[in-house]
Chain A
Amino acid sequence: DIQMTQSPSSLSASVGDRVTITCRASQSISNHLNWYQQKPGRAPELLIYAASSLQSAVPSRFTGSGAGTDFTLTISSLQPEDFVTYYCQQSHSTPGTFGQGTKVEIK
């Protein structure tokens, strides 16, 4: 199975800050990397697919980049509703493994 390692596992930031979350795959996954946002008690929501494509209706402050084994999710200016948990997921091969999550907290 492909292992996905996210870092950091948590971070503290302020409204308006720029933050970056990293996801590393244990082997090359081309651009088959997706990012999800999960609010407490809710299902995850797709933010970015194919490493850098913005899902419909997702604000443009979210951007994804990377290829091969190293990927990043950047939030350009944190809004109050962004202080939740983010997961990466590879869709290169089954099982579609997820990273362990990054919780973004208010400083």
Chain B
Amino acid sequence: QVHLVQSGAEVKKPGDSVKVSCKTSGYRFTMFYMHWVRQAPGQGLEWMGVLNPGGGATVYAQKFQGRVTMTRDTSTSTAYMELSSLTSDDTAVYFCARGKEVATIAPFDYWGQGTLVTVSS
């Protein structure tokens, strides 16, 4: 059975960085792209970018270029998303989501449980 388990909630100050992990199991980690999506409180869903766990290549949404870094550890089947220069606008739940197809953008068939990141001084 496919599982994506994310790291716990974080509280950060403006200007800090946060790194969220997404540990996977139940499938071959390197065969499916991993996407990151965030949701501000009471708001809709926003795609941040995608990681190819096989080779490590990434594509980021222009909005987050220069602030986001997506990486992976194939030995533990874990994907990571690091966001820097945090502001209060980055307060959100961050989800990892597996792409159903091997493509830069695809439907997301499995999701992590979400990680709440709160940015507050």
Residues of A within 8 A of B (CB): 34, 36, 42-46, 49-50, 55, 87, 89, 91-101
Given contacts A98-B47, A101-B44, contact A49 B95 (CB under 8 A): no
Nearest-neighbour CB distance to chain B for A38, whole angstroms, equals: 8
Tell me the B residues contacting A by CB distance below 8 Å. Answer: 35, 44-47, 50, 59, 61-63, 95, 97, 100, 103-109, 111-114
A5 → B minimal CB distance (Å): 12
Which single residue of chain B is at the shortest CB-CB distance from A95? B61
Q: In the complex, what residues of A have CB within 8 A of residue B108's CB?
A: 34, 36, 44, 46, 89
Contact between B44 and A95 (Cβ–Cβ < 8 Å)?
no
Residues A91 and B105 in contact in the complex (CB < 8 Å), given A96-B47, A98-B47 = yes
Most buried by A among B97, B104, B108, B111: B108
A41 to B97, CA, bound (A): 16
Nearest chain-A residue to B46 (Cβ)? A98
Bound complex: CA of A81 vs CA of B69, how far in Å? 37
Q: Known: A43-B114, A46-B100. Is A94-B44 also a contact (CB below 8 A)? A: no
On whether the beta carbons of B44 and A46 are closer than 8 Å, the reply is: no
Q: A98-B44, A99-B44, A101-B44 are in contact. Are A46 and B105 (CB under 8 A)?
A: no
| Bound Cα distance A93, B105 (Å) | 6
| Distance between A43 CB and nearest chain B CB, rounded to angstroms | 4
| Chain A positions within 8 Å of B111 at CB level | 43-45
A46-B109, A87-B45, A98-B45 given; name 20 further pairs at CB < 8 Å.
Answer: A43-B95, A43-B111, A43-B112, A43-B113, A44-B95, A45-B111, A46-B107, A46-B108, A55-B109, A91-B105, A91-B107, A92-B105, A93-B105, A94-B47, A95-B61, A95-B62, A96-B47, A96-B105, A96-B106, A98-B47
Selected from B103, B113, B114, the residue in CB contact (under 8 A) with A91 is: B103
Name the residue on B nearest A92 (C-beta): B105
The chain B residue sitting closest to A98, CB to CB, is: B45
Once the chains are docked, how many angstroms separate the CA of A49 from the CA of B105? 12
